[in-house]
Amino acid sequence: MSIPQIGVGTFRLKEQAAIDSVRTALEVGYRAIDTGQIYDNETEVGQAIAESGIRRDQLFITTKIWIDNLAGDQLIPSLKASLKKLRTDYVDLTLIHWPSPEAAVPLNESLQALLEAREQGLTRQIGVSNFNIALLDEAVNAIGAENIATNQVEISPYLQNAKLAAFASDKGVHLTSYMTLAYGKAVQDPVLQEIAAKHGATSAQVALAWAMQEGFSVIPSSTKRANLESNLKAGDLELDEEDLGRIAGLDRGERLVDPEGLAPVWD
């Protein structure tokens, strides 16, 4: 089971905004939806999915286990609670949202609980999020790369995460890019705008197409139908070597998501 190339994210979307965004995304053609326990919108995501009338087997739903639920005796009960909110018997992908701060819960304990959740049919695939090279290596050594569907991390034209990407590729672990549009900075970027004009595209489409051509999945979010429709078409855009070279030049290690007390030591 492969990870869809593009899905819709729901980070920071609450209540009716979350319902409307997911409902619209499904209407315009998205079939992959990304949420998480800490987003406090699983209930709304579940409502939007239920009201869409789309068959469950046509959807790819991802949720993420929050740090309070990483212990071996808490992870599965918390996932079951998420499933109830999402109105589904299973999710397609369950991730460790952030590594346990100061390794309060041993990583292997959480990974074994995820394997058990998969064995019980609560999730089809498992993976991690916000893992640096050392943590990803530890995870691979613990349960094997074949059991890690993805590592979801911040990747944008301004934070291309080359060391981690090379390591993940070497280990055979797929990466999912979040914050690909850098909180909208990419939309205003002159280089991306020039490339977009060349292709009759938008700068957002260029950023997303770049990430997908690099082999990453993307999960952009929006509350606007026009943006959701436009982002979804990014997969049709093919950038050439000149475009990719210009985008490579935008990398400046600019990280936007670095929460104190949660983030590991980045590579």
> Over the stretch 104-130, which tens digit does the pLDDT of each residue have?
999 999 999 999 999 999 999 999 999
Per-residue pLDDT at 1 exceeds 70:
no
- Mean pLDDT, all residues of the chain: 97
156 pLDDT band, cuts 50/70/90, is very high
158 has catalytic annotation: no
Three-state SS letters, the chain: CCCCCECEECCCCCHHHHHHHHHHHHHHCCCEEECCHHHCCHHHHHHHHHHHCCCHHHCEEEEEECHHHCCCCCHHHHHHHHHHHHCCCCEEEEEECCCCHHHCCCHHHHHHHHHHHHHCCCEEEEEEECCCHHHHHHHHHHHCHHHCCCEEEECECCECCHHHHHHHHHHCCCEEEECCCHHHHHHHCHHHHHHHHHHCCCHHHHHHHHHHHCCCEECCCCCCHHHHHHHHHHHHCCCCHHHHHHHHCCCCCCCCCCCCCCCCCCC
What's the whole-number mean pLDDT along residues 55-61? 97
User: Residues of the chain with pLDDT > 70: what percent?
Assistant: 100
97 is in an annotated binding site: yes
What's the whole-number mean pLDDT along residues 77-102? 98
pTM of the model: 0.97
What's the whole-number mean pLDDT along residues 128-148? 98
The residue ranges of every structural domain in the chain are 8-182+215-224
Catalytic annotation, pick one of 39, 158, 178, 183: 39
Architecture of the domain defined by 8-182+215-224: Alpha-Beta Barrel (3.20)
